[in-house]
């Protein structure tokens, strides 16, 4: 059986390096291309320098030529870069696993349009554990739908550029959808000064940035006389990489369309 040919965007970043290492350790996967942005100091270097695997594949910025012949591109970069790669993947028939956060509604719609022609797994978090938490939050929200205030507390490393995290937003979307609320109307992203009593229909966010925290998320359901906390803590980016590689395998066996990790894990 031939190996699945994987291309990695943002290969020099923290997630990119974790993905390269994950590919190197998988018997059924092969690195096809390693991409970086124009101007990166890594361009022209062997991708093996980032993972300790002697692939003989040079890191490049020409996505058009690099993606030719690839089976799946895994992209954890920035919205603009992801959408640029998406157009090329759609043209070349290359599937995508997208872990990029910070996409707005219009950009997500563009991904949905591309999924008419290629398979795309798009998820705010590729961790198997986090996606199990999403499922648990559905159940908790149904049961705790009255008399419980909902707050989401998330913490990440000092280098993260968006807030709240995509995972925190994903958790809130699951809760809001289950409760029949419009997240755009009920989300509270910060509090300062005299804010008045808490509106029980809101979903609050608290964001922490510091050090090298990989990713901590807690959803707090605070009631009268008790509180329920559902928490996920990531200690290594390997968990996200392994989930993304699992998603890549899923795309090989499924038709074009838009999927998430709930599809990949059979939780729907």
Question: Distance between CA atoms of 262 and 260, rounded to whole angstroms?
Answer: 5
Does the annotation count 160 as an active-site position?
yes
Q: Is the pLDDT of residue 138 over 90?
A: yes
H helices within the chain, ranges in order?
14-24, 48-51, 63-67, 79-92, 105-114, 128-143, 166-179, 183-186, 238-252, 261-264
Does the annotation count 37 as an active-site position?
no
Q: What is the 8-class DSSP label of residue 198?
A: P
Could you tell me the pTM of the whole model?
0.82
Task: Give the active site residue among 37, 58, 135, 160.
Answer: 160
Question: Distance between CA atoms of 165 and 156, rounded to whole angstroms?
Answer: 8
Task: Give the active site residue among 32, 85, 156, 217.
Answer: 156
Q: What is the 8-class DSSP label of residue 265?
A: T
- For residue 12, name the pLDDT band (cuts at 50, 70, 90): very high
What are the structural domains, with CATH classification, of the chain?
Answer: 4-126+237-264 (3.40.50.720), 128-234 (3.30.360.10)
Mind listing the pLDDT tens digit for each residue in 81-136? 999 999 999 999 999 999 998 899 999 999 999 999 999 999 978 999 999 999 99
Mind listing the pLDDT tens digit for each residue in 159-216? 998 999 989 999 999 999 999 999 999 999 999 999 999 999 999 999 999 999 999 9
Question: Distance between CA atoms of 191 and 121, rounded to whole angstroms?
Answer: 34
Map tokens 């699992």 to a residue.
Answer: 246
The sign of the torsion formed by the CA atoms of 71, 244, 187, 144 equals positive
């Amino acid at each position: 059986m031939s190996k699945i040919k994987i291309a990695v965007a943002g290969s020099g970043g923290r997630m990119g390096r974790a993905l390269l290492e994950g590919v190197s350790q998988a018997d059924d996967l092969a690195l096809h291309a390693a991409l970086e942005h124009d101007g990166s100091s890594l361009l022209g270097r062997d991708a093996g320098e980032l993972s300790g695997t002697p692939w003989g594949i040079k890191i490049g910025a020409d996505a058009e030529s690099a993606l030719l012949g690839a089976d799946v591109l895994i992209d954890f970069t920035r919205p603009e870069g992801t959408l640029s790669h998406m157009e090329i993947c759609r043209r070349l028939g290359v599937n995508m696993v997208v872990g990029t956060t910070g996409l707005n509604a219009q950009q997500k719609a563009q991904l949905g349009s591309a999924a008419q022609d290629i398979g795309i797994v798009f998820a705010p978090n590729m961790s198997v554990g986090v996606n199990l938490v999403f499922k648990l939050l559905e159940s908790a929200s149904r049961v705790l739908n009255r008399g419980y205030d909902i707050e989401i507390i998330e913490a990440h490393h000092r280098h993260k550029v968006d807030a709240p995290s995509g995972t925190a937003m994903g958790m809130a979307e699951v809760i809001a959808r289950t409760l029949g609320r419009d997240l755009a109307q009920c989300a509270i992203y910060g509090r300062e000064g005299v804010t008045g009593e808490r509106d029980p229909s809101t979903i609050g966010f608290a964001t922490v940035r510091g050090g090298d925290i990989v990713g901590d998320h807690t959803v707090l359901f605070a009631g009268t006389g008790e509180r329920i906390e559902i928490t996920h803590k990531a200690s290594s980016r390997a968990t996200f990489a392994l989930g993304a590689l699992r998603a890549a395998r899923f795309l090989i066996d499924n038709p074009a369309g838009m999927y998430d990790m709930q599809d990949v894990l059979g939780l729907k």
